[in-house]
Structure 1
Amino acid sequence: MQPQWFKAAALTDQQRSVQLQSSRRVSKKTLAPLSLFSLVAFSMTPAYAANSSIEQVTIYQGLASVTRALPISGSGEQTLVFSCLSPYLDKDSLSVQAANGVNVGEVSIETLSGEHAAQCQYQGDANVQQQQATLADINAELEAVRLAKAYLQNLTKVTQINTDSTLANNARAIETQAASINKRILDIQQRQARAQETLNQLMAGSATSTRNSVTQVSVRTASRIPSSIKLHYQVRGAGWEPTYQARLNTTTEQLNITASAIIAQQTGENWLNVPLTLSSVNPNQNTSGRLPNVERLSLYEEDQRRLAKSTQPMMEAAPVIVSARDSYGDAALAPTGAPLPSFTVSSQNKNGIIEYKLPQRVSIPSDGRHVRTVIDEQSGNSKLWIRSTPSVETAGYWYASAPFLTPAWVDGSLQLYRDGNYIGQSRYRYQTLKEQGIGFGIDSNTIVKQITDEDKQGDKGAFNRTQTLTKTQAYQFTNQHNRNIRLQVLGSEPVSRDDDLKVTVTHTPPVTERDWNDNQGMVAWEFELPSKQSKVIKSTSQVSYPASKKLAIN
C-alpha cells in the first residue's frame, strides 16, 4: 500500500468555469463555517484527488534522495500539488521530470504551518487511522443509543395512560427497555474509553514525528493525454551505517561474518512500504582534489626562523559495500505452497560507488527508530592461531584469518562470538584485519611467563670510549590445551637512526619474519606448540654508541 498522506489536486480551465458558476448559485445563507482544509478544497474543487507515491529512496550518509510521482488525469492545463513533504527538504535540489508530451511550467515551493501541518501529522500511520475509524464507529453507536434513550424518555411524557392495568404493563416495558439501554450505554462507554486509550498510545508512539511545518510543492503542467510527473529532491536527517557479527568455531575452524545495515531517519516524512537503496557515497566529503603547494624560495638571515608549513588532513576514502547472498538454504527444505520471498540484497559497483538495492519494500518511520536489515553473509574455513606479545602483556589471544574479506566492506562495529559466546566488540577495518587477523579474545589455556629480564651497561676503549647497553629478555610459553596450537609471538628489536649507533641482536630460536607486516623493527616467531608442552624464546640486543653522546629512545 502506498502512503495516503501525500495529496494532490488538479484543476482544468473548464472545471474552474464550472466551479465558478456553481459557487455563484450558492446562497450565502446556506454557507456554514468551514475549516482551513475545507476552504482550500472549496476554492480549488479538484476534479480528482491522487496520492503522491514514493518510487525510490536512496539513503547516503546524512541525507537521502527521494523520488515521488503524481498522475496527470485528463488533458489541458493542470496544477499538481505534492503536499506534506519534509520541512528539511533541500529546495535547491528540486527537479521535475515529465513524460513525453507533458509541458512543465513553474514550480512553486511553500512552507505551511498550523493546521496544514496538523493535518499531515498522523495521516499515513495505518494503525492510527484504523484506530481512529474504530473510535468513530463506537462514538456513532453511542450517539445512536443515547438518541434512543432520549426518545424513550420523551415517549413516557406524552403517552396517555387510561387504565391501571395498562399503566402497569407500560411501566414494566419501559423499565425493561430503559435498563437495556442504560446497560448498552455503559458497555459502549467502556469500549470507548479503551479505544481512546489505545489511540492515545498509538499517537504517542506514532511513526509520524511531530512537525510544526511542512513543505508543499506545486507544479504547473499541460498535457493532451493522461500521464505523470516525477519530483526529485534531497532531504537531510537520514543515514545508515554497517555493523558486523563474526562467529568463530574453534573446533571446526569455521568463521561466519554477517553484515547488516542499520537505517534511521528523522526527515519529517514517513517512508512506508517504499523501494530502498543504500549508497556508499558520503555527500559530505570533498568533491574535488586540492592543488599542489608551490614552494617560493628566498634567503633569510641565519637567525631568522623558517615559516611553518601547514599540512592538510587526508580525505577519507568513500566507503563501499559488498553484495549479499541468498539467506535461504536448500529450497527442498522450504514448506510446500507458494514460494517464500527472497530478501537477498543485490549490489552494483559504479566505478567505486557501491549501491545496495533491497529486494523488498521497507517502512522507515520518521521517529529515529533503527531499522536493521542483513545485507551480506559470508562464511568459510579459517586459519586459527594464538598470538602473544609478551613484552606488552603476558597473555595469548585467539586470532583467525578471513580469506573472504574484501576492501568493499565499509568500516563499522564488529561483534565477536567464539564458540557461541559473546566475547566483546571490536572495529571492522579491512586493511587491519587482513594484515593482522581478527582477534577473538584471550586464551586462558596458553600460559605466558617471563623468565629473564636483564639490562647491562658498560664502557669500551681507552681513548675513543664507547658506551654499550645490553638487554636480554626470555619468555616461556606453555600449551595447556588438549591439542596442538599454532603460536605466533611478536617481538621487537632496536632500530638505529644514527651512523654512530650500532645495534646487534640475537634471537633464539631465530625469528620467522623480520619487519612483520612491513613494520620496521617488529619480528615474529611462528611454530606449532604440542599439547601440554612449553617453549622458550630469548632475545639479546646490544647497542653501542660514543660515550660523548647520550642515547635517545624514540
Structure 2
Amino acid sequence: MRAYFLTAPVSSDKNYSKKTSKLVLKQLMTPLSLVSLAALSVSPAQAVMSSVEQVTIYQGLASVTRTLPISGKGEQTLIFSCLSPSIDQDSVSVQVLGNVNVGEVSIEALSGEQAAQCQYQGDAKVQAQQATLADINAELEAARLAKAYLQNLTKVTQISTDGTLANNARDLETQAASINKRILNIQQRQARAQDILNQLMAGSLTSTSNSVTQVSVRTASRMPSSVKLHYQVRGAGWEPTYQARLNTESKQLSITASAVIAQQTGENWTNVPVTLSTINPNQNTTSQLPRVPLLSLYEERQNELVRYTPAAMEATPVVVSARDSYSGGESATNTAPLPSFTVNSQNKNGITEYRLPQRISIPSDGRRVRTVIDEQSGNSKLWLRSTPSVEQTAYWYASAPFLTPAWVDGSLQLYRDDNYVGQSRYSYQSLKEQGIGFGVDPNMLVKQLTDEDKQGDKGVFNRLQTLTTKQAYQFTNQHNRGMRLQVLSAQPVSRDDSIKVIATHTPPVTKQDWNDSKGIVAWEFDLPSKQSQVVQSTYQISYPADKKLNTN
C-alpha cells in the first residue's frame, strides 16, 4: 500500500505560490471524505482465521474439524491459531484436498500476549465494532493531518507581502475552523464507539484463557486448495433430557427428547454445524478375560448377611424451556417456507448420531445450550397403580409402545393434562416394562382394613410352629368414569425347604411373579365410577419349632 505525506510548498516564485495556494485551497474546500484515508494510513495485515467445518460432541470431549485455504502456489506454512489449550495432541491429523504435499506439522502452546490477542477473535460483534472503531480512528488521524497541513500553509502565506496570498490565508483559517469542528465530531463518535466496544467485550461470549494452542502445517502445491485439521479436545459434552406430556382424556402421550450442550474447551464455536453422538469414549474398548476359579478347602464359618440397598439415582436438574407454537397470519403461498429444525438421526450399530440441521453457537463459558433432537407421540394405555403395603395411595401410569432403545438415559420431566407433576428418570428398559408414572391420583381412595400377624402355639409334641399374616385394603373410585386399577403386593418366598408358605388371595391374583419379580403378585381389574373393591391376602407360614424365622 502506498503512503502519502503532505508538506508545505516552498518556492521563491510568487506566481508559483499563488497557483499552489489556490490549488490547495480548492482541494480543501471539497468534502474531507474525498481525501483518501488509505493514503493517510497503512492497515496492518490480518491473519487468516480458520473456519470450523464440523464439531462432533461426545460425553466429555469433542472432535473438531477446521479448514484453512491454500492461496497461491509453491511452498507455504499455514497456521491454525487460537486453538484450545486442552487439545489432545496425539489426536491431531491433517487432511488435504487435491494435489498438495504436506510436510511437518508443528504443535506449540502460546501464552501471555499471544493468548490475549485471541481473547475476542472469535466474537463477530466484537470484531465488527473493532473494525468500526479503526475506521473512525483513521478518519480522525486524516483530519488532524489535514489540520496540521493547513497550519503550515497559513504560516507560509503570512510571510508573503502579496495581498492575494493574505486573503487566501484568511480562507485557510476559515477552512481550519471547519476542520476543527469536524475533528470534534469525530472524537465524539470515537468515544461512543469505544463505549460500545467496552460493553461488547464485557459481555462477550469469549472466555479468557491464559494459553492457546497453535498448529503450523507446511505445504507445497501448484494451485489453490485447502487443508483440514482434525483434533479432539476435552471439556465438552451433552446430556439428554426428556419431556413427557400425557392427556388423560384423549390418552395421547408425547415425549420430546432434547440435548443440553455445554463446553469449556477454551474455544468459542460460533455458528458451527454440530453432531451429537451417544457413544462414550471413556468406556472400555476391549472385553475382559474370564476369571479361572482356583479351588481349595477351608474351614466353614458363619457368614454375616449384609443387606444392600442400591442408592437411588438422583436426577440431574435441568432448565426446562417451553416450546411455543407459531401460527402465521398469512397463507403459506404468500410467505417463504420456515426453516426446518428436524434432526437427522442415524444408528450405526448401536451408536446413534444426531446431526443438527441448523448451525448453532456454543460459547466456551459453560452456559447450557438446549435444542430438540427427537419427538415421539401416540396412543397410550392408562391405568392406576397402588402398592398399599408401602403407601396407601394410587399413581397414574401410561404405557409408551413407541419408546426407542436409541434414546440415552436422562432426566424425564413429567406433565399430566398440561400440569407439571415432577420429574423421573428416562430408562428404556424400566419404562418399557413398568410404564411411565405421572404422579398421585387423589380421586382413587385407598384404605387399610386389616394388617395383622398371628403366631401359632408351640406344643410339646408339635415340631412345627406357624405364623399367619392377613392384609386387606379397600379401593374406592371417585372419578366420573371407570378406571383400570393395578394393585401390587409382596408374597413371602421360602429360601429353605423346611419353610412352607400357603397363600390365599381374594379375589385371585391376576399375575404371579409380576414382571419376572419373584414374590410380587398383581391384581388387575376395572373399577367402575363411585364403586369400591377390597383385595385381601392371607399367608400361613410354617417352620421348625426349634428355629427362628428370618424375614429378611
In the alignment, is the contact (CA less than 8 A) between 1:235 and 1:267 conserved in 2? yes
For residues 221 and 328 of structure 1, do their structure 2 counterparts lie closer, same or farther at Cα, with a shift above 3 Å needed? Answer: farther
Query: Following superposition of structure 1 onto structure 2, how do residues 100-179 of structure 1 map, counting pairs within 5 Å?
Result: 100-137=98-135
For residues 462 and 445 of structure 1, do their structure 2 counterparts lie closer, same or farther at Cα, with a shift above 3 Å needed? Answer: same
Which shifted more, 135-144 or 476-485? 135-144
State the SS of the aligned residue for 1:121. Answer: coil
Match of 2:278 among 257, 277, 280: 280
Q: Residue 543 of structure 1 corresponds to which residue in structure 2?
A: 541
In 2, distance between residues paired with 1:159 and 1:389?
Answer: 107
In 2, distance between residues paired with 1:296 and 1:329?
Answer: 72
Kindly state the Cα deviation for residue 201 of structure 1 after the two structures are TM-superposed: 2.8
Kindly state the Cα deviation for residue 190 of structure 1 after the two structures are TM-superposed: 6.4
Q: Residue 451 of structure 1 corresponds to which residue in structure 2?
A: 449
Q: What are the superposed Cα offsets for residues 404-460 of structure 1, whole Å, 9 maximum, x if unpaired? A: 001111100011111111111111111111111111111111111101112111125
In the alignment, is the contact (CA less than 8 A) between 1:328 and 1:342 conserved in 2? no
Query: Following superposition of structure 1 onto structure 2, how do residues 389-404 of structure 1 map, counting pairs within 5 Å?
Result: 389-404=387-402
In the alignment, is the contact (CA less than 8 A) between 2:144 and 2:183 conserved in 1? no
Residues 1:340 and 2:329 are matched in the alignment: no
Kindly state the Cα deviation for residue 62 of structure 1 after the two structures are TM-superposed: 0.4
Q: Residue 55 of structure 1 corresponds to which residue in structure 2?
A: 53
For residues 409 and 296 of structure 1, do their structure 2 counterparts lie closer, same or farther at Cα, with a shift above 3 Å needed? Answer: same
Q: Residue 85 of structure 1 corresponds to which residue in structure 2?
A: 83
Q: Residue 385 of structure 1 corresponds to which residue in structure 2?
A: 383
Q: Residue 198 of structure 1 corresponds to which residue in structure 2?
A: 196
In the alignment, is the contact (CA less than 8 A) between 2:49 and 2:81 conserved in 1? no
Q: How many residues of Structure 1 are paired with residues of Structure 2 in the alignment?
A: 477
Kindly state the Cα deviation for residue 298 of structure 1 after the two structures are TM-superposed: 3.5
In 1, distance between residues paired with 2:189 and 2:464?
Answer: 98
Q: Residue 467 of structure 1 corresponds to which residue in structure 2?
A: 465
In 2, distance between residues paired with 1:412 and 1:449?
Answer: 35
Kindly state the Cα deviation for residue 202 of structure 1 after the two structures are TM-superposed: 1.9
Q: What are the superposed Cα offsets for residues 149-171 of structure 1, whole Å, 9 maximum, x if unpaired? A: 999999999999xxxxxxxxxxx
Kindly state the Cα deviation for residue 130 of structure 1 after the two structures are TM-superposed: 2.3
Kindly state the Cα deviation for residue 275 of structure 1 after the two structures are TM-superposed: 1.6
Q: Residue 73 of structure 1 corresponds to which residue in structure 2?
A: 71
In 2, distance between residues paired with 1:333 and 1:291?
Answer: 65
Q: State the AA in 2 paired with 1:370.
A: R
**Percent of residue pairs identical:** 76
Q: Give 1 or 2 for the bigger CA radius of gyration.
A: 2
State the SS of the aligned residue for 2:392. Answer: coil
Match of 1:371 among 361, 369, 372: 369
Q: What are the superposed Cα offsets for residues 180-223 of structure 1, whole Å, 9 maximum, x if unpaired? A: 977994x7766655544433332122111101111111111222
Residues 1:488 and 2:503 are matched in the alignment: no
In the alignment, is the contact (CA less than 8 A) between 1:78 and 1:222 conserved in 2? yes
Kindly state the Cα deviation for residue 71 of structure 1 after the two structures are TM-superposed: 1.9
Match of 1:220 among 218, 225, 238: 218
Q: Residue 420 of structure 2 corresponds to which residue in structure 1?
A: 422
In 1, distance between residues paired with 2:529 and 2:153?
Answer: 100
For residues 228 and 253 of structure 1, do their structure 2 counterparts lie closer, same or farther at Cα, with a shift above 3 Å needed? Answer: same
Q: State the AA in 1 paired with 2:203.
A: G
In 2, distance between residues paired with 1:478 and 1:357?
Answer: 50
In 1, distance between residues paired with 2:57 and 2:512?
Answer: 46
In 1, distance between residues paired with 2:395 and 2:86?
Answer: 49
Match of 1:433 among 422, 431, 434: 431
For residues 334 and 505 of structure 1, do their structure 2 counterparts lie closer, same or farther at Cα, with a shift above 3 Å needed? Answer: farther
In 2, distance between residues paired with 1:216 and 1:396?
Answer: 62
Relative to the length of structure 1, the TM-score reads 0.78
> Cα RMSD between the aligned structures?
3.4
In 2, distance between residues paired with 1:180 and 1:76?
Answer: 49
State the SS of the aligned residue for 1:505. Answer: strand
The runs of 5 or more residues in structure 1 that have no matched partner are 1-36, 42-47, 161-173, 307-312, 314-326
In the alignment, is the contact (CA less than 8 A) between 1:248 and 1:418 conserved in 2? yes
State the SS of the aligned residue for 2:391. Answer: coil
The runs of 5 or more residues in structure 2 that have no matched partner are 1-42, 160-172, 304-309, 311-324
In the alignment, is the contact (CA less than 8 A) between 1:417 and 1:423 conserved in 2? yes
Relative to the length of structure 2, the TM-score reads 0.78
Q: State the AA in 1 paired with 2:112.
A: G
In 1, distance between residues paired with 2:470 and 2:153?
Answer: 112
In 1, distance between residues paired with 2:182 and 2:77?
Answer: 54
For residues 532 and 153 of structure 1, do their structure 2 counterparts lie closer, same or farther at Cα, with a shift above 3 Å needed? Answer: farther
In the alignment, is the contact (CA less than 8 A) between 1:409 and 1:430 conserved in 2? yes
